[in-house]
Amino acid sequence: MSHNEHIHTKKIKMVVYVPQSHADIVREVMGKMGAGTIGNYSHCTFSTKGVGRFKPLSGANPTEGKIGEIAEVVEEKIETVCLRENLETVLAAVEDVHPYEEPAIDIYPIEEIDKK
């Protein structure tokens, strides 16, 4: 890397695991709140389907499954990008429509190189 380049992080990658039944509403709210904007495109996401497994413990109020038993739910892993400055707004909106008591959401920095 030359002295004219520097690395900064102004975007993050957001990954949300959600039951298939709520995947469309989660994708829609992400886009409405500004996540998923790449150039002249909005609502950009990528999804993969899989099986989420978890065991609700005492005190939990599970949407799926029963206390003390392993639950298996067909879920979508939804990936998108988001400006760091919009992250809190997008997270709050996703959590409002997500059916789980404890949604699994991962946030990763995206390193960008500016060439001047």
Judge if pTM exceeds 0.75.
Answer: yes
Report yes or no: 98 and 27 within 8 Å, Cβ to Cβ.
Answer: no
Domains identified in the chain, total number: 1
In a domain, 88, yes or no: yes
In a domain, 43, yes or no: yes
In a domain, 1, yes or no: no
* Residue 25: partners with Cβ closer than 8 Å, 6 or more residues away: 97
In a domain, 109, yes or no: yes
Structural domain that includes position 60: 22-115
Model confidence pLDDT, tens digit, residues 9-18:
789 999 999 9
pLDDT of 116: 66
CATH number, domain containing residue 50: 3.30.70.120
Model confidence pLDDT, tens digit, residues 28-79:
999 999 999 999 999 999 999 999 999 999 999 998 899 999 999 999 999 9
In a domain, 49, yes or no: yes
pLDDT of 91: 97
Q: What are residue 10's phi and psi, to 5 degrees?
A: -115, -10
Coil, strand, or helix at residue 76? strand
